[in-house]
A and B are shown apart, each in its own frame.
Chain A
Amino acid sequence: MSQGSIIVTQAGPLALVQDGGRFGVAHLGFTQGGAADWISYRWANWLLGNALDCAALEIVMGGNLTLESDVSVCLALAGADLGAELGGKPLAPNAPFTLRPGQSLTFRQPKAGLRAYLAFPGGLEAPEVLGSKACTAREQIGGLHEDGKPLTQGDQLTWQGVSVLPQRFPADARLPIPSGRCHLPMVLGAQAAHFAGRSLYQAFNQPWTVDQRADRMGIRLTGQALKSDVGGVISEGIPLGAVQVPPDGQPIVLLNDRQTIGGYPRIGALTPSACALLAQCLPGTEIWLQPISATQAQSAHRQQLSAWA
């Protein structure tokens, strides 16, 4: 139980309590949830010496979200640069810092990336639902009040630990923040056979634009339409990163809050690291899909995980 608390003096558009996700209950219809950019989220916890899957805040856009503390507390920020200010001075992400009483911590607007993760000593306190604190709006579960709602003005944040072991962000560590050309590795799925050869070629050989219609459930990509020879398939389980193609030919990448089963044909699925990168892309970002085998993707994934080993 924390010694003090942090109060939300101004709510931004979207700040959510998230953890590593809600697993083992997908067969009951519960979505995975969890930090959309799981890499930055883990770094935020790592910077405080927390267990990597402690609950943290996922702050989207910023939008003047303002927090104030009644005690001195060491926090860590990782991921997007949302123009954060600590006591009126710019605060760079990817480092631990101390928030003192009377100071305010404000998140303005995205300068690089879209989602910042704020970690607390020992993790944020929130009720656990089915093994996770992940906040899911559509399912009305998780979060501070167990209703799936984002932070609102007046919410009080408390944390589970008292001390931290602040770490320095390694110089060679990389965060999934888009800069320049964005390549997203995708494992081709069996249903790729439903897409004409020309369409398969186009999937990988044209730029796709991240659409405005983007949230934690899925992100639409716009570009030259892909054509599949089936309009729909019998509904089946959908993995993280699935690239489904509705009849209009514009793909939707399904992310953490996706429906557990669905019936659009899928061309494949982005790797978890590609999902993290896509979750940091602002609308209008140009991205390129890149084929990768499941085996190659797994070795790359293991290498990513070794960063925290």
Chain B
Amino acid sequence: MKLRLETAAMDALTVRLFDTIDEGNMGWIMAADTALRRAFGESLIDLVPSYTTLLVHYDCRVLDFAEATSRIRASLSGLTPVDTHNGRLHDIPVWYDASVGPELPVVAQRIGISVDALIARHCGHDYCVFALGFAPGYGFMGLVEEALATPRLKTPRQRVAAGSVGIAERQTAIYPLLSPGGWNILGRTAVPLFEYAKRGEPLFQPGDKVRFKAIDKAEFEAAGGDTTPLEERA
């Protein structure tokens, strides 16, 4: 960890702790998150942690640039990482099927394995939640094993159904609500991520772990899943 402060805007600073994506970053990022919230208190407007950085948006009516900078430095000196093993593990049931996950066969073929093997491998790893963003409740997770890494679609879809589970390069994620998107969609979950987020209690927090579990169509429907094929929503 090495601390660098960068000007992001008139009243926002980027706190840069790392240069590369690594699960080991998360304990530091979370510790910095807590320390910064404590140091800024009411003068903090928003704090957005991500893979390697935290964006501090402060109230410049209360703190000027120099004060904000020194407050960040003071609060982060002597920082020790939090234990991310205490993060929650979420089991997310997914119906992997070409009708709701059109790239399931495409990705399998691209890397030369069967669809079943692809499902087993996507489910065979506990993914770290690196950051929340893009949409409410959307968690950027990784890392997908190198062999499965697949580039984004050349042309993003206008409409990706809520609950769609996708991969892009070595990342994986779930779309909380109907939105445009360019990730490779493999299946769908009935877990209502957006509903959690809207209550201000998102299911995933940075540092949590997510394990996907394959279920069949009947289980998916029983959980309240919408079986409308993805492309029919386009």
Chain A residues in the interface with B (C-beta under 8 A): 23-30, 32, 129-130, 138-141, 187-191, 234-242, 259-262, 266, 268-269, 271-272, 294-295, 297-298, 301-302, 305
A305 and B10 alpha carbons, distance in the complex (Å): 15
Q: Are B133 and A271 in contact (CB under 8 A)?
A: no
Q: Are A241 and B9 in contact (CB under 8 A)?
A: yes
Q: Are A260 and B48 in contact (CB under 8 A)?
A: yes
A30 and B60 alpha carbons, distance in the complex (Å): 22
A129 and B33 alpha carbons, distance in the complex (Å): 24
A140 and B200 alpha carbons, distance in the complex (Å): 15
B117 at the interface (CB under 8 A from A): no
Chain B residues in the interface with A (C-beta under 8 A): 6-12, 14, 20-21, 33, 45-55, 57, 60-61, 64-66, 131-138, 140, 176-179, 194, 197-198, 200, 202
Tell me whether chain B's interface is mostly helix, strand or loop, or mixed: mixed
Q: Are A235 and B46 in contact (CB under 8 A)?
A: no
A140 and B178 alpha carbons, distance in the complex (Å): 9
A250 and B45 alpha carbons, distance in the complex (Å): 30
Q: With A190-B7, A261-B134 in contact, do A236 and B57 touch (Cβ < 8 Å)?
A: no
The closest CB in chain A to the CB of B179 belongs to: A138
Which of A29, A262, A271 lies in contact with B10, CB distance below 8 A? A271
Shortest distance from the beta carbon of A83 to any chain B beta carbon, whole Å = 33
Shortest distance from the beta carbon of B199 to any chain A beta carbon, whole Å = 9
Q: Are A294 and B50 in contact (CB under 8 A)?
A: no
Q: Are A189 and B6 in contact (CB under 8 A)?
A: yes
Q: Which residues of B contact A29 (CB under 8 A)?
A: 132-138, 176, 197, 202
Q: Are A130 and B198 in contact (CB under 8 A)?
A: yes
In the complex, 22 of the A-B residue pairs with CB atoms within 8 angstroms, ordered by the A residue number, are A26-B46, A27-B49, A29-B138, A29-B197, A140-B177, A140-B194, A141-B136, A235-B133, A236-B52, A236-B55, A237-B12, A239-B55, A240-B9, A259-B135, A268-B9, A269-B8, A269-B12, A272-B10, A301-B10, A301-B11, A302-B60, A302-B61
Shortest distance from the beta carbon of A229 to any chain B beta carbon, whole Å = 15
The closest CB in chain B to the CB of A269 belongs to: B9
Shortest distance from the beta carbon of A53 to any chain B beta carbon, whole Å = 13
Between A24, A130, A237, A302, the greatest number of chain B beta carbons within 10 A of the residue's beta carbon is seen for A237
Shortest distance from the beta carbon of A179 to any chain B beta carbon, whole Å = 24
Between B9, B53, B136, the greatest number of chain A beta carbons within 10 A of the residue's beta carbon is seen for B9
Which of B9, B47, B61, B194 lies in contact with A27, CB distance below 8 A? B47
The closest CB in chain A to the CB of B8 belongs to: A239
- Top 4 A-B pairs, shortest CB-CB distance: A237-B55, A237-B48, A190-B6, A261-B133
A259 and B64 alpha carbons, distance in the complex (Å): 26
Q: Are B10 and A294 in contact (CB under 8 A)?
A: yes
A261 and B12 alpha carbons, distance in the complex (Å): 14
Q: With A236-B52, A237-B48, A294-B65 in contact, do A259 and B133 touch (Cβ < 8 Å)?
A: yes
Q: Are A235 and B50 in contact (CB under 8 A)?
A: yes
The closest CB in chain B to the CB of A193 belongs to: B6
The closest CB in chain B to the CB of A274 belongs to: B10
Tell me whether chain A's interface is mostly helix, strand or loop, or mixed: mixed
Shortest distance from the beta carbon of A257 to any chain B beta carbon, whole Å = 12
A287 and B12 alpha carbons, distance in the complex (Å): 24
Q: Which residues of B contact A32 (CB under 8 A)?
A: 46
Q: With A239-B8, A269-B8, A298-B64 in contact, do A138 and B135 touch (Cβ < 8 Å)?
A: yes
Shortest distance from the beta carbon of A258 to any chain B beta carbon, whole Å = 11
Q: Are B10 and A298 in contact (CB under 8 A)?
A: yes
Q: Which residues of B contact A305 (CB under 8 A)?
A: 61
Q: With A29-B134, A139-B136, A234-B51 in contact, do A190 and B10 touch (Cβ < 8 Å)?
A: no
A129 and B199 alpha carbons, distance in the complex (Å): 8
Which of A139, A188, A302 lies in contact with B135, CB distance below 8 A? A139
A1 and B138 alpha carbons, distance in the complex (Å): 37
Between B10, B20, B55, the greatest number of chain A beta carbons within 10 A of the residue's beta carbon is seen for B10
Q: Which residues of B contact A242 (CB under 8 A)?
A: 8-9
A156 and B130 alpha carbons, distance in the complex (Å): 43
Q: Are B131 and A235 in contact (CB under 8 A)?
A: yes
Between A32, A191, A236, A272, the greatest number of chain B beta carbons within 10 A of the residue's beta carbon is seen for A236
Q: Which residues of B contact A240 (CB under 8 A)?
A: 9, 12
Q: Are A239 and B57 in contact (CB under 8 A)?
A: yes
A295 and B68 alpha carbons, distance in the complex (Å): 11
Q: Are A297 and B10 in contact (CB under 8 A)?
A: yes
Shortest distance from the beta carbon of B203 to any chain A beta carbon, whole Å = 11
Which of B54, B55, B61, B177 lies in contact with A238, CB distance below 8 A? B55
Shortest distance from the beta carbon of B176 to any chain A beta carbon, whole Å = 8
Q: Are A189 and B135 in contact (CB under 8 A)?
A: no
Q: With A29-B132, A261-B131, A305-B61 in contact, do A234 and B21 touch (Cβ < 8 Å)?
A: yes
Q: With A27-B46, A236-B53, A238-B55 in contact, do A187 and B133 touch (Cβ < 8 Å)?
A: no
